[in-house]
Each structure stands twice: as C-alpha cells, then as structure tokens.
Chains A and B, each alone.
Chain A
C-alpha cells in the first residue's frame, strides 16, 4: 500500500468517523437536511483534495457536479420553456390557452434544425437556423454595441478638463486611453515619441492587470471563505464569531 492509498483510506475513514460523531451528538440532524449537509461537506472536501494532487475523490466529485448541473439545467429549460411555452400551448392542455399557436412551429422548427448538426448527411440544414440567428443577432447587436460600448464610452473620456479632482481623473483616463491605443498601434515603429508613449501605455496596462489580479484573488478567497464557513458552521457546528 503506497502513501497515496493510505491517505485516501485515511481521509474516507476520518470523514466517516467525524460524521458518526456529529450525528450521535446531534450537531447534524438525522434527516434529509442532515444528509444534504453531509453530502455537501463530503463533496467540498473531495474537491479540495486536488490541492494535494489529482486523485480519485476529486474526479468523483467533479463528475457528480457536471452530471447534476447538466440535469438541473435541463430541468430548468424543459419545464418552464420547452414544455410550458411550446408543448402546453400547442397541445391545448393549458387552461385558457390561445388557439393561435401555430406560429410557435416556426421557432420550434428552427431549433430542431440546429440539432441536425449531429448528422453528417443532413447537417447542412442547420445553416438555415444559424443564418437566422446570426442575421438577427448581428442586426440587434451592431447598433447597440456601437452606441453602448463605443460612442457612450468615448463621450465621457473627451469631457472638459479642469483643475479639480474630477478633472485630474479625466486627464489620467485620457492619457491612459491614448497611450494604450498607441501601444496597440503596430503600423508605426515604436521609437522616439511613439516609443515613449507606448511605454506609458504599458504601465497603464500593467496597473490594470494588477487591479484585475487583486480583484481575482479577492473573489477566489471569498469562495474559500464561503466553503470554510459552511464546513465550520453548518457541518461541524462550530460557533462562527459575528
């Protein structure tokens, strides 16, 4: 028996012993809620075993998660949408349903055409549905994208500069936008004034990457805090200080 097998058996055994103690002391109730807490705690610990190295417990939890998530999402899409908004109105099983539901066949047919992608013989039919989605999507997205993400973003950047804190902020944003754009302008050699401006652009990029990285650390730690709080409070019954 190698060290990893010993650790695996030790982990499973310890988890079982802890749960027996928790159930016998009443910390975790012997009902469906208690079972849910034990399963959640077990899966959390299984996933964290990856911090040691990839192992069977991690793979098990990962596959359970993928399966459960897929089934849950299917349920969420099936009942309210596919069944509730297509099958129910068309079959007339819904009380007071409108009789003019024939038009539902068109989007349903387009949706079904998408599934022909799985067949090499009739896969070309999916192009009809994709053409509809791409055409409609582009028609909706292009004007909104230009308006929201370009024009309305440029407008405040080009505001009037002033000798106030807001004016200073605006100046920094303006310098950042211009120098980063120069950095990504590759048609001119980055020497002289252009080279110096692009170096300033690199600094702006580095600061923004640093800010994003800092926020990412905060986000990941928040997830860890959430799981540790669950394990301590809900599973082990420890008193979390308010």
Chain B
C-alpha cells in the first residue's frame, strides 16, 4: 500500500503516453462531440455576419505562438473554413510576434480549400507591437494602424480593407488568444465600438473568461481543444481537434483513476495508522 502511495511519477507518464497514443491509432474508439452553447454562439455570430450587407467582414486577431498551436490552430482553421464557405471577407492581424507564421499557414490552407484570393477575399496585415495601443489606433484609424499588408500592398488599395476606417466597420471580431489579449479586446475594443466579440482561447485561460460571457462583453467562447472539436462538429468538417478528443477522453479517464486510487490509498493508510495507534494505546 505504501508503495502505491509513493508510486514513481514516471509510471504515471507511461500510462498517460499510452492513453494518448493507443486511442490515436485505434479507429474503433469513438466519443461523440456535442457543441456547447458558448461555441454555438460564435458559430451564430459568424452566420449573422454572413447575412450583413456585402457578405460580412470579420477581423481575426491571431494572438498565439507555437506553444499553443495544438489547441488554437485547429480552431483557427475551422473558423476560417466557416468564413470562407459563407463568403465572409477576412482581415487578419497579429498582436503577438510569434503568431504570423501560424496565421499565414492557417489563412493559406483554408483559403486554398475554397479558392479564396488574397486581397479580394482576405487580407493579412501581419504583426504590430503595442497590444492596447494598436487596438486604440485601429479604433481611431484602421489604415494608420496597418498602412500596408504583410506583403507591402497599401491597405488603401486592397479591396477588402479599402472601406475600413475603424473597428466599428467590422461585423464581428474573433480573438484567438494564448495570453491576455481578450481582456484588452474587451476594454479597448468591444466596450467602445460594440462589435460582437468571439474568443478562442487555450483551455487554461477559459475559466478566467467565463465572467465576460455572463456580462455580455463576449458573444461566445471556444475553449481549448474540446472547443475546437465542437466547432469542427458544427461546420461538419472533422479535423485534428476531433481526432484529439479520443486520446483526450481516454487520458482523462486514466488520470481520474489515478486520482481515485491515490485518495483510496490515502484514506486506507490513514485508517490503518489510526487503527494501529488505537491498538497500541
């Protein structure tokens, strides 16, 4: 019993690895993915944007780096696929310096699948340092915040951004975040310009953002890989997030079993210790 309580953590690592790798390779395992209300809200927000004049214009803020790629890249792809499939024009920016590579990859992949052209269907403005200052600048004058796109074309000449003057010209804003940017988008963007704000974030961040849903400052929230899988289910395009749900569920079960085992062993040891003390007395 003592041995089980002081189990080598490397044994737990092996179980976690098996819990991840076996479900990835075994096709028979299937777990249903049911979209939650918070994820549906983002989907509905984009559907509403698609029905606006001109087919809708959505701003994507890519604010994550490679460390959050497994969670946020499937999310970005699903959201972009939804936009491009519904004819929504996309403007993409980055507020984090390690985001442009991933953003460009997501944009070209999703645009390629729907034959969307850069400039006329989507634009990528690249990275701009400053966080809150950039948001304030975009709110006042979008073209002065981003005078050129990633490849040096003036914003004024791009069909998608030609008529964009301020943040209020967007039908919706989506922040894909691995840091504190959603709070900034709320404080310096949504509060002032009242656009619908959808947030896709890492699972670690999700609990901190729920209060903003209740207050209506955020329209919807996609949290972590589970949220990404839910969005893939909504647009009926299963991807890496849906694949990831099998190992996710199995490994959660493994960890729950370890927690239960640890607690049972702890209480049994305590009872035995109390019993032996009583017998000695």
Contacts and interface: CB of A to CB of B under 8 A. Distances in A.
Interface of A: 51-52, 69, 72-73, 76-77, 80-81, 84-85, 137, 140-141, 144-145, 147-149, 152-153, 155-156, 173, 208, 211-212, 215-219, 221-229, 232, 238-242
B133 to A, nearest CB: 8
Contacts of A52: 10
Nearest to B94: A76
Contacts of A69: 98
Contacts of B118: none
A69 B66 CA distance: 10
A158 B203 CA distance: 28
A217 B70 contact: no
A153 B186 CA distance: 12
Given A225-B70, A225-B244, A218 B224 contact: yes
Given A51-B10, A76-B97, A81-B128, A225 B188 contact: no
Interface stretch (B19-27, B36-44, B48-56, B158-166): B19-27
Contact of B27 (A145, A208, A221, A241): A241
B26 A215 contact: no
A30 B129 CA distance: 38
B87 interface: no
Nearest to B254: A221
B97 A77 contact: yes
A229 B132 CA distance: 36
The 4 lowest CB-CB distance pairs between A and B, nearest first, are: A226-B70, A241-B27, A219-B203, A222-B225
Contact of A149 (B187, B214, B226): B187
Which of A69, A147, A218 gathers the greatest number of chain B CB atoms within 10 Å? A218
26 contacts: A51-B10, A73-B98, A76-B127, A77-B129, A80-B126, A84-B148, A144-B188, A148-B187, A152-B217, A173-B214, A212-B204, A215-B204, A217-B255, A218-B203, A218-B248, A219-B204, A221-B20, A221-B248, A225-B225, A226-B70, A226-B71, A226-B244, A228-B247, A229-B243, A241-B243, A242-B238
Given A215-B204, A222-B248, A225-B247, A51 B13 contact: yes
B84 to A, nearest CB: 22
Interface in B127-168: 127-129, 132, 136, 147-148, 150
Contacts of A242: 27, 238, 243
A153 B187 CA distance: 12
B70 A227 contact: yes
Given A218-B224, A224-B16, A241-B27, A156 B216 contact: yes
Nearest to A233: B24
B215 A152 contact: yes
A137 B225 CA distance: 34
Nearest to A84: B148
A144 B139 CA distance: 14
B203 to A, nearest CB: 4
A222 B70 contact: yes
Contacts of B181: none
Given A72-B98, A77-B129, A225-B225, A215 B24 contact: no
Given A152-B217, A173-B214, A222 B244 contact: yes
Contacts of A221: 16, 20, 247-248, 251-252
Given A221-B20, A224-B16, A242-B238, A229 B202 contact: no
Nearest to A228: B20
B203 A153 contact: no
A152 B183 CA distance: 13
B32 interface: no
B240 A148 contact: no
B215 to A, nearest CB: 5
A56 B279 CA distance: 52
A144 B97 contact: no
Contacts of A148: 183, 186-187, 191, 217
Given A84-B148, A155-B215, 9 more contacts: A77-B127, A81-B129, A149-B187, A212-B204, A215-B204, A216-B204, A221-B20, A224-B16, A241-B24
B13 A218 contact: no
Given A228-B247, A229-B243, A218 B226 contact: yes
Contacts of A238: 25
Which of A85, A145, A223, A224 gathers the greatest number of chain B CB atoms within 10 Å? A224
Interface in B96-147: 97-98, 100, 126-129, 132, 136, 147
A156 B217 CA distance: 11
B188 A153 contact: no
Interface string B1-38: 00000000010010011001100111101000000000
B207 interface: yes
